[in-house]
Amino acid sequence: MSPDADAHDRHRRLSPAPVLDLDPLIDDPGTRIVVCCGSGGVGKTTTAAALGLRAAERGRKVVVLTIDPARRLAQSMGIDSLDNVPRRVKGLDDSASGELHAMMLDMKRTFDEIVEAHADAERAATILNNPFYQSLSAGFAGTQEYMAMEKLGQLRARDEWDLIVVDTPPSRSALDFLDAPKRLGSFLDGRLIRLLTAPAKLGGRAGMKFLNVGMSMMTGTLGKLLGGQLLKDVQTFVAAMDTTFGGFRTRADATYKLLQAPGTAFLVVAAPERDALREAAYFVERLAAEDMPLAGLVLNRVHGSGADRLSAERALAAAENLEAVENLEEPRIVDQEGGKAGLRNSPDTYGSSESPASEAPAPDEGSPADPKNPSSERTEKGRSADPADRSVDQLTAGLLRLHADRMQLLSREQRTRDRFTALHPEVAVAEVAALPGDVHDLAGLRNIGNRLAAGRPELPEAAVD
């Protein structure tokens, strides 16, 4: 890429998507639910936790519902015990008199609680001991998603918190999260179940005879396929469920409506990587199709550089220049002119008053003489004579190579983002600068919260032209 193209990239980076301003969203008392969704490995849970902490420290009474947090993140909030109850998080700045509670979803426990809440003790025991129920509740396709939504509904109904931040399960695809509750709900409340449990009733009705035929063929097939005993377990399970609390679909529908309600905001979380942003684009489209309110895109792990005026190509050329000097035993055959000639031909991306090809090194006016390297005064031909200089040259070449890598990463991220922005120019974006390590404590979460609220990666001052 030529320096010109690089300058073009920089120009484009300033224009695209509107900035997502998260503080007004979490400060608005009308915002009651924030749902963080996106593909796996993009920092969804961390985003949910950081946002919850920030909202609490800005005065709201918040509960964060996480699904499967990394151990140390959970520990940092004091919720590493799996008891399915919101716990108050300690160590907050509570000067704005907010509170943060956090909980980790235990889907089996949540399912059991629904059963216990809706059935008398005897019936509840029948259901809880049913092998089909035990398998279903321990987490097959859809259960986790369904239970997350169920828990959300419960937390909302308790009305103890004025903001619920919810993380979504690490689904096969982002869309499962919206589909699974309906699917499970419609299965448990649906035609197949009714056929399984009450064939005689249906079959007796005029015009339903064909169903009866279908029915016997089907139970026969299912029996063959699953073994008769499983079918019996399913039938027992469904009968017990059905008579104690019907209307799974009603519950699923209610949760679904809650997601469409005005107090709900969806945040799609992604990283500037092709797959993550492709999933994010699907999610944006899907939310729109379902009339679910999208607040914007949180783009985690965005890289920046305080020296982004120096292109990858120039940094590499300069590094080679330094290394070429270093590799030669005889300083006099340094190919310095040749190296500089190459640079002279390229447009000066600095807009500098100094020519990069200036023959004499600039005098070091501003800084005091280097006490470690008293002999580091360089002359054109003898600059690598000193071993200390050589190691500085080598180090500087390394710094430049590192920078070149960073600039290549930046332009790759930018290309990926441009693709998303071209598809969805209306989606507001909050960028969060990449951190070298993982987050383990409240201070780390607070830091992420600050970055989230800034909406743009915090770049060193040198980046400001």
Contact flag: residue 190 with another protein (CB under 8 A): yes
Least Å from the CB of residue 227 to another protein:
3
From 160, 350, 375, 443, residue interacting with another protein (rule: CB under 8 A): 350
Residue among 1 and 85 whose Cβ is closer to another protein: 1
List binders of another protein among 145-164 (CB under 8 A): none
Please give the Cα distance from 287 to 178 (Å, whole number).
Answer: 9
From 29, 30, 91, 131, residue interacting with another protein (rule: CB under 8 A): 131
Residue type, 33: I
Least Å from the CB of residue 152 to another protein:
21
Contact flag: residue 191 with another protein (CB under 8 A): yes
Least Å from the CB of residue 90 to another protein:
24
The SS3 assignment for 213 reads: helix
Residue 150 C-beta-side C-alpha neighbours within 13 Å: 28
| Neighbouring-strand partners of residue 269 | 298
List binders of another protein among 356-415 (CB under 8 A): 356-358, 361-368, 370-373, 376, 378, 383, 389, 391-403, 405-406, 408-409, 412, 415
Interface stretch with another protein, choices 9-17, 127-135, 160-168, 239-247 (CB under 8 A): 127-135
Residue among 262 and 368 whose Cβ is closer to another protein: 368
Strand 99-104 and strand 163-167: pairing?
unpaired
Edge-first strand listing for the sheet containing 33-37: 87-88, 99-104, 61-66, 163-167, 33-37, 264-270, 294-302, 429-433
Contact flag: residue 268 with another protein (CB under 8 A): no
Residue among 333 and 362 whose Cβ is closer to another protein: 362
Report DSSP state, residue 448.
H
From 187, 236, 446, 454, residue interacting with another protein (rule: CB under 8 A): 187
- Residues 6+ away with beta carbon under 8 Å from 294: 265, 266, 268, 284, 287, 288, 427
Residue among 260 and 358 whose Cβ is closer to another protein: 358
Contact 31, 164 (CB under 8 A): no
Contact flag: residue 80 with another protein (CB under 8 A): no
Contact flag: residue 305 with another protein (CB under 8 A): yes
Least Å from the CB of residue 94 to another protein:
29
Contact 280, 297 (CB under 8 A): yes
> Rg of the chain's alpha carbons, rounded to an integer?
31
Q: Residue 331: is it exposed, middle or buried by C-beta count within 10 angstroms (0-12/13-18/19+)?
A: middle
From 226, 258, 423, 454, residue interacting with another protein (rule: CB under 8 A): 226
User: Ramachandran region of residue 39, left (φ > 0), alpha (ψ -120 to 50) or beta?
Assistant: beta
List binders of another protein among 40-69 (CB under 8 A): 40-42, 68
Contact flag: residue 277 with another protein (CB under 8 A): no
Contact flag: residue 261 with another protein (CB under 8 A): no
Outline where 58-163 has alpha helix (H). Answer: 71-76, 107-118, 121-129, 131-137, 143-158
Please give the Cα distance from 317 to 135 (Å, whole number).
Answer: 62
Least Å from the CB of residue 61 to another protein:
29
Q: Of the candidates 165, 125, 129, 160, which has an alpha carbon nearest to the alpha carbon of residue 148?
A: 165
Least Å from the CB of residue 215 to another protein:
8
Least Å from the CB of residue 419 to another protein:
11
